[in-house]
Structure 1
């Protein structure tokens, strides 16, 4: 049995999703003439109560487009030191937009409003970059799938309004946060200027993210997507997967969260595990007691038993549950983790 817990991006379309994709009505989306893409964009915009949406081939491109919308070359954005836009988007902030990042030392990838306030450069001090944007990530990847306190997000919105800053949400795993905290996506739509929403993680689509936002920003997004090479033709086959996922795969995220909790509980019992970070959604981050078992040996032993996970550096390891991780796989993994305590 091969079990891949490297990421929730490893999923493959279900048979029903493939049927929906193959029966999709399509057109040329570069001319905005693909009915399935248009339907997906309208559906997501309505879910979040926002003006419009735009389908993208990747979450990184959606984030990079949002950053370019809100900034000018030489500007600076504020984000947590764990933020995906800083750590995992290939330096695109500087390459695509000519923008630098002011990093905040938050908790598990989450900043406080006071920290954001303190990070803003004085707008009349021309020696420093002009602060123009605040980027949030929910849930936080490097923070172990942590969910933001919505009241804190509202407090940061007030800071943005006071200083006339853009407010972007990298919602790569926002669906997980919405399910875990029983939150309304429309509340996020009222709060943020732009939101990128991934379909190819917990929802199980093969490709795709959606950028949703206020009309004044989204009018710019189409041109920027074109510049970045994100214009697709008969993309409706992919959009149909997104529509199917939104209709059938959101509520089941609770299963991923439950299995992540159970994996964390088993790891905490192990004498070779030093620490397991708090688990709120589908990501488990933990550290080994290197005096008892090295990271290399642990990964090798799991690999021998058909289980793949990922090392994040600095002694941290990560598992991510997802819709292709079945109950049978879960029981097997729990047994293997229990046996590895004897290394």
Structure 2
């Protein structure tokens, strides 16, 4: 039985073209900036996002830590959405490493940070004697089901940050999904942000890696933090080679992932006991709720049928579509969802 794994969009395997490029990659010592393939990837990523420079990181976590450490100092504060990935998953380690505070700003239902809420957070920090050194927004927004922030949303956050003399960081693990959904160049979407991190191993389909793109000074500082935190790697051009192929070949095809997510949502609308809103699907995430059945039993029923998905919280489940999911897989998944619901309804 085929395993259809949509627990996350980092579940896909490299494409044949990536494997070929990895096998033939020219290598060097990246610690000394001597890996030509890494250097090509960094230059390509910076150009695509419209930034001065970029650094290849082992993971998105290290990209986020690197930019926060580059902009913070002991006793300072960094503003992030209170429903963001950084707030829920990265806050403790960042606060411990930088001896600063991650401060949550209310996140709207669409993933946006309202300018008035950001300004209020600045004032609270001032009242508490904390200097704010960075504002972060997330695009696409993970916990909001892959919702997209558009150019105006990011520009509005940047306007508040820049008026306050603070840079804006775009946590853009899936920023290419957002750009494809909006049908605009990713550089346009990132124009207002001073720094951007995006993941190579999610929708872009690489085996590993993340890119942090920013001005030269921020990238230089991030390289130091990367090495100090154990992220320095030697002959890693084979990973960078996959990244180059991904940026050349995998961006436009993300529209297929979005279509698959929409098909999943639309296909589940008529299944009893489930609640799903197809209009909420903007990228490669299809969210639904199990209303009438035990959630654990529902997940187990799907897994017995070879379908794996993410249990976000409570009754809320998510499918992440990606390069490894075909139209046939989507149809099989809908059959598995319907069969599981029918089985549980029958008791």
Query: TM-score if structure 1 supplies the norm length?
Result: 0.95
Task: Identify the residue that residue 222 of structure 1 maps to in structure 2.
Answer: 223
1:235 paired to 2:241: no
Deviation at 1:123, TM superposition (A): 6.6
- Map 1:185-334 onto structure 2 (within 5 A): 185-276=186-277, 278-289=280-291, 292-334=292-334
- Indicate if the aligned counterparts of 1:266 and 1:338 stay in contact, CA closer than 8 A: no
Cα distance in 1, alignment partners of residues 110 and 231 from structure 2: 32
Deviation at 1:91, TM superposition (A): 2.1
Aligned residues between the structures: 340
Deviation at 1:281, TM superposition (A): 0.3
1:118 paired to 2:111: no
- SS of residue matched to 1:50: coil
Larger deviation: 189-198 or 256-265? 189-198
Cα distance in 2, alignment partners of residues 10 and 124 from structure 1: 43
Cα distance in 2, alignment partners of residues 241 and 339 from structure 1: 39
CA deviation profile, 1:27-85 (whole Å, cap 9, x unmatched): 00000000000000000111112111000000110011001111112211211122111
- Map 1:47-86 onto structure 2 (within 5 A): 47-86=48-87
Cα distance in 1, alignment partners of residues 261 and 124 from structure 2: 43
- Indicate if the aligned counterparts of 1:63 and 1:170 stay in contact, CA closer than 8 A: yes
- SS of residue matched to 2:319: strand
- Unaligned ranges ≥5, structure 2: none
Cα distance in 2, alignment partners of residues 227 and 148 from structure 1: 33
- Indicate if the aligned counterparts of 2:179 and 2:189 stay in contact, CA closer than 8 A: no
Larger deviation: 261-270 or 205-214? 261-270
- Indicate if the aligned counterparts of 1:283 and 1:319 stay in contact, CA closer than 8 A: yes
Cα distance in 2, alignment partners of residues 168 and 105 from structure 1: 17
- SS of residue matched to 1:26: coil
- Indicate if the aligned counterparts of 1:275 and 1:288 stay in contact, CA closer than 8 A: no
CA deviation profile, 1:86-135 (whole Å, cap 9, x unmatched): 1123722212222222212222432111211111136754x342222111
- Indicate if the aligned counterparts of 1:108 and 1:142 stay in contact, CA closer than 8 A: no
- Indicate if the aligned counterparts of 1:76 and 1:129 stay in contact, CA closer than 8 A: yes
- Indicate if the aligned counterparts of 1:56 and 1:208 stay in contact, CA closer than 8 A: yes
Cα distance in 2, alignment partners of residues 135 and 85 from structure 1: 9
Deviation at 1:328, TM superposition (A): 2.0
Deviation at 1:189, TM superposition (A): 4.3
Cα distance in 2, alignment partners of residues 245 and 190 from structure 1: 22
- SS of residue matched to 1:232: coil
Task: Identify the residue that residue 43 of structure 2 maps to in structure 1.
Answer: 42
* CA 123–264 in structure 1, closer or farther in 2 if over 3 Å, else same: closer
Cα distance in 1, alignment partners of residues 275 and 55 from structure 2: 44
Larger deviation: 330-339 or 206-215? 330-339
- SS of residue matched to 1:120: helix
Cα distance in 2, alignment partners of residues 242 and 124 from structure 1: 42
1:99 paired to 2:100: yes
- SS of residue matched to 1:309: strand
- SS of residue matched to 2:325: coil
Larger deviation: 237-246 or 315-324? 315-324
Cα distance in 1, alignment partners of residues 333 and 126 from structure 2: 57
Larger deviation: 88-97 or 158-167? 88-97
Cα distance in 1, alignment partners of residues 307 and 276 from structure 2: 20
